[in-house]
Amino acid sequence: MAEMDSGRASSLLFTRRGMPRLAEILPCALQHVLASFAGVIAPAIIIAGVCNFTEEQETAIIQVALILSAIDTILQQFPLFGKIGSGLPILTGVSFAFLPAFQAVGIEFGFETLLGAELVGGAVAILFGMLYPKVKWLFPSLVTGTVIFTIGVSLYPTAIKYLAGGQGTENFGSVQNWIVGLITFAVVFGFSNFGHGILKLGGIFFGMLVGVLISLPFGMVNASGVVSAGWFAPPELFPFKIVFNPAACLTLAVVYVMVNVQLIGDLSAATMGSMNRMPTEKELGGALKAQGLVSMLSSVFGGLPTSAFGQNVGIIVSTRVINRWVFATASLVFAAAGLMPKLSAVLTMIPQPVIGGATISVFGTITLNGIRILVKDGLTPRACTVFGISVAFGLGIAEVSGSLMGPGMPDWINTIFGTSAITPCAIMAIILNNVLPPENPYTNVDLRRGTGSTEAEEIENGVEAESAGASAGNDSSASADSETHKIQSEGQSQGNQ
């Protein structure tokens, strides 16, 4: 009887509902926490550095990052009013994909303007979730892949600046910074590619831990903020004034749409890989609304927006553990950590070279994800044209400071198109994809909308094709059997005659 109960509890891990034993939930939940913990806090630390935060402010933004990641994950498991949240197996956290645009807005206008643009971006995400079925044709894999590729590439300078010790610091580019950063990178790379089990899944976390230990003899760890931090404190409501700048809001609105399309791809991959089905439009719309709502909440609490974590999608697909209490438990760990300022203050001690060494591989993964999505429809001459020109405009304009600030050029033009590579790249990709004629004018396939409008549809079309192939094979086999039976019957009839 005990064996039956044990087997039943284990099987509940592979269903959405039901309550497995806590002893089974905890290892699965901690696996997700280790895989994503460093990814949740790193963007907050980077933005804190860009905006010249004090130690107290940096501690606060890390707290909010952890708490809001927990709230978004909970909403995805238990949709609010049955509409806000997907009800699908996914773990969310503060996303690196927003980082280039956030850095640009933060540097030019400050964190208060960034929060205003984040609030508007959250509203755009909710609207996009409501309108997604009608506008998804604008975002085929060619457009989405191009933009995600640009996001990844534009993050490389950030990683190198941190590897070198943080631009503007006294010892920027020093030997000790590079030693610590490269050792951190080597440990992350080794665990992620050659490790097994928990070491592989928590490669970034363990790499940062090793990096911090190595940096101790160099005197690179400052623990003064930990001593003064309290043990428990909820996040502060409106810790910053919220400022709205139209150009900054428009810039982030474009970024939010692109990150939402990426979220749809992550949800589709997780659902197909673990549940053998595609998410419904209702589930996708609910996921986007939850992401938008949490983003708006985050701006009110002085935090950063969330999205799905690709590394956790990999865990979901490989283990097929989809029970919602596993993800809820992981989110509770994040929430508990976020409510403890002393723990958040410990995280602010991480030296900048350690962050750079740990995140450069993450940024490389974002770039490769863009390529993976991009090549789904094939790298035709038309696709190469859209990709090449869009990336050239995006990265080219962003790299040449002041290129949109000449005589007669309105300031808002530079703010929207000149501060981040993502906006000009995205707009150019959408325009070119709809202006260039289809690859083959003699077919009925409109390549402007892609052979599949999104990564989600690519997976869905593949499943339909397999089903159709199986059906056709069965029909063909049945037809052949029928014909054989008919010939045999005729032969027997002639023999009898």
- Rounded to whole angstroms, how far apart are CA atoms 99 and 117? 13
Judge whether residue 464 has pLDDT over 50: no
Question: CA-CA distance, 123 to 408, in Å (whole number)?
Answer: 33
Average pLDDT of the residues of the chain: 79
Q: What's the pLDDT score for residue 155?
A: 78
- How many residues make up the chain in this entry? 497
Supply the pLDDT for residue 286. 92
Residue 416 φ/ψ region, left for φ over 0, alpha for ψ in the -120 to 50 degree band, beta for the rest: alpha
d(CA 63, CA 41): 9
**pLDDT, greater one: 116 or 461:** 116
pLDDT recorded at residue 452 = 45
Measured between alpha carbons, how far is 169 from 189 in angstroms, rounded to an integer?
A: 27
Whole-number pLDDT of residue 168: 67
Which residues are CB-neighbours of 389 under 8 A, at least 6 positions away? Answer: 428, 432
CA distance readout (Å), 236 to 43, 59, 63, 306, 439:
20, 12, 10, 19, 54
Rounded distance between C-alpha atoms, residue 452 and residue 461, angstroms: 7
Residue 153: the pLDDT is: 85
The mean pLDDT value for 336-349 works out to 78
CB atoms within 10 A of CB 389: 17
Does position 386 have pLDDT exceeding 90, yes or no? yes
Q: How far apart are CA 182 and CA 470, in angstroms?
A: 51
Q: What is the per-residue pLDDT across 242-288, written as a single tens digit (0 to 9) for each?
A: 999 998 898 888 888 878 887 887 787 788 778 888 788 889 899 99
Q: Region 101-121: what's the mean pLDDT?
A: 90
Express each pLDDT in 75-110 by its tens digit.
999 999 888 999 999 899 887 778 888 888 888 889
